[in-house]
Amino acid sequence: MDGENLKNNLTINVGNGKIVIGENVIPYISNNHIFITVRKEKGPCVDQSCQIITKVNIQKLDKIPDDAIRVEKNGISLFLNREVANSIDRGRENVLLKKTLAGKIGIRGFTYIGEDSQSFSDHHSNLS
């Protein structure tokens, strides 16, 4: 994971995948409700058809949506929408949350995998 020092990072299992939280992000996450979603934006248009671009979105919210999936370890919680949880699980991904040079939380290693008929909660009842 980009040569990150994983010694002091926190790893939370999300089905068959993992979210690794960098040690410099843990204090921020422990004091806030962090909600990770995907959003779809209109991309480049060719011949009157537009490509849809899917981007990950990290937000600090006061109130977490009722359908959010909570993943937790050692008292540190993250909240994911179903699309993010499904993508991490099905892609068996190791997603890294760390601070960017601008001091914001960035995400690396996330690949969006489209929806199918089974949802994340149909496969997994224990997420961490």
CATH of the domain at 45: 2.60.300
Q: Which is higher by pLDDT, 121 or 32?
A: 32
For 56, the domain range is 10-116
Burial call 87-96: b when 16+ CB within 10 Å, e when fewer: bbbbbebebb
pLDDT band at 126 (very low <50, low <70, confident <90, very high): very low
pLDDT tens profile 55-98: 888 999 989 999 999 999 998 899 999 999 999 998 888 999 99
**Would residue 123 count as lying in a domain?**
no
Paired tokens of 80:
């994911």
pLDDT band at 44 (very low <50, low <70, confident <90, very high): confident
**Would residue 41 count as lying in a domain?**
yes
Q: Which of 86, 14, 100, 22 is nearest to 54 (CA)?
A: 86
Residues 108, 111, 113: CA angle, nearest 5 degrees: 155
Q: Is the pLDDT of residue 120 over 50?
A: no
* DSSP 8-state class, residue 22: P
| pLDDT, averaged across the chain | 82
Q: How many domains does the chain contain in total?
A: 1
**Would residue 52 count as lying in a domain?**
yes
Burial call 14-45: b when 16+ CB within 10 Å, e when fewer: bbebbbbbbeebbebbeeebbbbbbeeeeeee
How many whole angstroms from its chain centre is CA 57?
A: 8
**Would residue 37 count as lying in a domain?**
yes
**Would residue 128 count as lying in a domain?**
no
Residue 67: what pLDDT?
92
Q: What is the pTM of this model?
A: 0.76
